[in-house]
Structure 1
């Protein structure tokens, strides 16, 4: 017996939806005119990538930080309107942001 059959037995009056909610839907971010600055630094001898210059809502920037960290499978944080990613991933991050529709500017080497 399938789970859908079990649910029909438990809830005979329920009519299932035709289009279930797609949870893989891309979040919509506020797009800005000015580019996001992507730069590279070394702190305590460790390389980091810093993203700054987003003028939209903090919640959107936090979601973006989470997506970047999960895409690259690395650690990072969101502090003082900047995203700090552990490691030098400027090229991958810039390609990801461009695919989302953001303008990105590379600063430094």
Structure 2
């Protein structure tokens, strides 16, 4: 008897809530075209730029905030682009693929 079965026996009327990961996937509108993830240097410092999102601006801002908190880095949202400080292309691409986005790596 595993933990889930024990919990069902103790609380037969309880209906489990959906996990946060499922909620996070449904919050943001997914698109057909890939998001472009590119690397640049500005004033000698590396940055990662994400562009090409065709959904609502608020969704893209939520995505920017989530990426910045998961990576623990600074960044901004300007002109329909997410700018992340540092070269985090691989990590960002993994996070976006887990969310269901198509990502295309450009440059470098």
TM class by shorter chain equals 0.7 to 0.9
Residue 29 of structure 1: how far off its partner (Å): 1.0
CA–CA separation in structure 2 for the residues paired with 1:35 and 1:21: 32
Query: Structure 1 residues 70 and 33 mapped into 2: Cα distance closer, same or farther (>3 Å)?
Result: same
CA–CA separation in structure 2 for the residues paired with 1:72 and 1:41: 18
Residue 38 of structure 1: how far off its partner (Å): 0.1
Residue 28 of structure 1: how far off its partner (Å): 1.6
Query: Which runs of 5 or more structure 1 residues have no equivalent in the other structure?
Result: 1-17
- Structure whose alpha-carbon radius of gyration is higher: 1
Higher helix share: 2
Q: How does 1:1-109 map to 2 (within 5 A)?
A: 24=20, 25-26=23-24, 28-109=27-108
Moved over 4 A (4+): 18-23
Residue 58 of structure 1: how far off its partner (Å): 0.2
TM-score by length of 1: 0.78
TM-score by length of 2: 0.78
Alignment root-mean-square deviation, CA? 1.7
